[in-house]
Amino acid sequence: MSPGDILLLLLLFPLLSLSPNAVAGSDDVGVLFTSSRWIVDRTGSRVKLACANWAAHLDPVVAEGLGNQPVDRIASSVRSMGFNCVRLTWPVYLATRTSLASLTVDGSLRRLGLADSAEGVAVNNPRLLNLTLIEAFKEVVWTLGRHNIMVILDNQISAPGWCCSKLDGNGFFGDKYFDPNEWIESLKKMAAIFNSSPNVVGISLRNELRGPRQNLIDWYRYMQRGAEAVHAANPAVLVILSGLDYDKTLAFLHDKPLEDLSFKGKLVFELHWYGFSDGGDWENGNTNAVCGDISQGIMAKGGFLLEQGWPLFLSEFGVDIKGDNPGDNHFLSCFLSVAAELDLDWAIWALQGSYYIREGRPNYDETYGVLSWDWSEPRNPYFLQRISAIQSPFQDPSISNSPAYDVIFHPSTGLCVLRDRLNGRPVLGSCDENEAWNYTSQHKLVLKDSGLCLQTEEEDNGVKFGEECEDSGSKWEAISKSGMLLSTRSGNNGSLACMDVRSDKAIVTSPCSCLEKEGPCSAAESQWFKIVYSNRRGGSSFSKLRSS
């Protein structure tokens, strides 16, 4: 969409530009649009969704955690952990079954035998305790709004409960609990309820379609109806469509795009990617090969949409946050490299450290939750460091006068290669420092505008900055199926070595790990470096060098 189109939209929908709570400033939340593959604000500037999923669709139909912490404190922890958005889940019945929606929070928890949780809500959120479920849901949305947190309302399921299994009656249009007409009704209602809540920026129509009934004819038919229903009830929101097979694939759109929608500039697709969906590959395979193959698969299953000019929201991924699952750890490094390279919008599963009740078990610990079991603190601060680089945009299509550059991202730590301010040596540091590199066609890694390049050192397998960039020790070829091993031939014996990181974060070389011929192997991750294209402001090491 061109700026002209956006202007046209604003003229067509004058109310949108007058949302009462909108405040000036780049950090405020407001109406979003799509512009080719990007999600943008009304000025055309990139807005990157860095969301956490917050469940409110399980049996109690109460946003999780309200028995543990005040909703205000949960909202500020979302912000302080670096997220700008929540994907808040809800069941169809919350919108369509008055007998459910009119239960109070207290009543809903107690009917499930969760008196302890009800007492927790009374202590932590007394104002919410006697609200009806739908009123409490609104309060959560509005509280997030007061913290400038965007909300995507995600219809996770029809009948409240843990999602998702193939045979749970919630999998596809026509399943036991999944009446398409009731679903449309619920979308209309939720869209209308939040019509004047500027922080509700998107509605995702249905989570993880699946099961024996799934078919393309119904997908196109009902997704179109659902999209039109949401747009008619609330033209401000992004309309987000998920794929088939647990939202693991949108491949069918490659040759048959969704056509004939009455609106433009609002359509987004969502895809899910978990390591556990890839069999035991992340644990047992050769991580270079596995990452290379599976990333390619992700491009075929949904990444191609970016190339076709549609935004792709990676609306669920997740891992054991403590780092106790080796397969998850390998998956996460690979995921981060893809998310950085494609500069995806995303939502992690999950915010919640625990559930009131899940699959019959009270106070269920969510090992994928970024918050601890009692919601009082991050489950693992190091995990937050690892995802922090992808919480900010690398690219902004509206910045045209800012020169592009490369970032050298190290996914297994979440850090980037920088020039140490004190000793002038290459070192890992925060990606916010934003060093500007140029990975040239001759495979040199040049600090932009400075003439300095990375090269190997004779002693200690070190890597340093040099001015003579022509020798073989200055050439870094990206090898292996992952494409993330930066290899060089150097040192006294001229053997192949790969860029690596020492425990003090200094950049060094070591023998290349997990080249495919070695078979099962998981030792490569400290050697993974992803060259990421960026044009965000501030990426000028030359000015830093001159001033230092």
Distance CA 312, CA 271 (A): 7
Distance CA 202, CA 302 (A): 19
Catalytic residue among 64, 208, 270, 435: 208
Bridge partners of residue 89, in order along the sequence: 154
Shortest separation between residue 407's beta carbon and ligand NAG, angstroms: 11
Instruction: Identify whether 208 is a catalytic site residue.
Output: yes
Is residue 401 a contact point for ligand NAG (CB under 6 A)?
Answer: no
Out of 401, 493, 503, 547, the only residue in the binding site for ligand NAG (CB under 6 A) is 493
Nearer CB in complex with ligand NAG: 281/343: 343
On the question of a cis peptide bond just before residue 350, with omega within 30 degrees of 0, the verdict is yes
Is residue 404 a contact point for ligand NAG (CB under 6 A)?
Answer: yes
Nearer CB in complex with ligand NAG: 404/545: 404
Bridge partners of residue 364, in order along the sequence: 355
Is residue 478 a contact point for ligand NAG (CB under 6 A)?
Answer: no
User: Which residues, 108 to 147, sit near ligand NAG by CB under 6 A?
Assistant: 126, 129-130
Shortest separation between residue 444's beta carbon and ligand NAG, angstroms: 8
Shortest separation between residue 504's beta carbon and ligand NAG, angstroms: 19
The token duo for 237 is: 């929101």
Is residue 405 a contact point for ligand NAG (CB under 6 A)?
Answer: yes
Give 196's Cβ-side CA count (13 Å radius). Answer: 4
Q: Please state, in angstroms and as integers, the Cα–Cα distance from residue 56 to each residue in 89, 138, 317, following that order.
A: 5, 11, 18
Q: Which stretch binds ligand NAG (CB under 6 A): 110-118, 380-388, 468-476, 488-496?
A: 488-496
Shortest separation between residue 337's beta carbon and ligand NAG, angstroms: 19
Bridge partners of residue 76, in order along the sequence: none
Nearer CB in complex with ligand NAG: 473/483: 473
User: Which residues, 429 to 468, sit near ligand NAG by CB under 6 A?
Assistant: 438, 440, 448, 461
Q: Which stretch binds ligand NAG (CB under 6 A): 11-19, 146-154, 156-164, 487-495?
A: 487-495
Instruction: Identify whether the C-beta of residue 373 lies closer than 8 Å to the C-beta of residue 353.
Output: yes
Nearer CB in complex with ligand NAG: 45/130: 130
Nearer CB in complex with ligand NAG: 215/495: 495
Where do we find the tokens 């106790």?
324
User: Which residues, 226 to 245, sit near ligand NAG by CB under 6 A?
Assistant: none
Is residue 408 a contact point for ligand NAG (CB under 6 A)?
Answer: no
Shortest separation between residue 128's beta carbon and ligand NAG, angstroms: 9
The token duo for 501 is: 């990181």
Q: Which stretch binds ligand NAG (CB under 6 A): 4-12, 267-275, 307-315, 490-498?
A: 490-498
Distance CA 100, CA 364 (A): 23
Question: Which DSSP string corresponds to 239-292?
Answer: EEEE-BTTTTB-GGGGTS-----S--S-EEEEEE--GGGGTTHHHHSBHHHHHH
Comparing CA positions, the residue from 305, 107, 126, 313 lying closest to residue 207 is 313
Nearer CB in complex with ligand NAG: 242/513: 513
Shortest separation between residue 47's beta carbon and ligand NAG, angstroms: 24
Shortest separation between residue 405's beta carbon and ligand NAG, angstroms: 5
Is residue 495 a contact point for ligand NAG (CB under 6 A)?
Answer: yes
Nearer CB in complex with ligand NAG: 57/448: 448
Q: How far apart are the first and last CA of the chain?
A: 42
Instruction: Identify whether 228 is a catalytic site residue.
Output: no
Out of 451, 511, 520, 538, the only residue in the binding site for ligand NAG (CB under 6 A) is 511
| Angle subtended at Cα 125 by Cα 119 and Cα 130, rounded to the nearest 5 degrees | 75
Instruction: Identify whether the C-beta of residue 191 lies closer than 8 Å to the C-beta of residue 128.
Output: no
CB-based contacts of 537: which residues, under 8 Å, 6+ apart? 399, 402
Nearer CB in complex with ligand NAG: 402/461: 461
Give the count of residues interacting with ligand NAG (CB under 6 A). 13
Instruction: Identify whether the C-beta of residue 193 lies closer than 8 Å to the C-beta of residue 203.
Output: no
Q: Please, what's the b/e burial string for 304-331 (b: 16 or more CB within 10 A of its CB; e: otherwise)?
A: bbbeeebbbbbbbbbbbbeeebebbbbb
Shortest separation between residue 499's beta carbon and ligand NAG, angstroms: 13
Instruction: Identify whether the C-beta of residue 407 lies closer than 8 Å to the C-beta of residue 431.
Output: yes
Q: Which residues bind ligand NAG (CB under 6 A)?
A: 126, 129-130, 404-405, 438, 440, 448, 461, 491, 493, 495, 511
What amino acid positions are annotated as catalytic residues? 208, 467
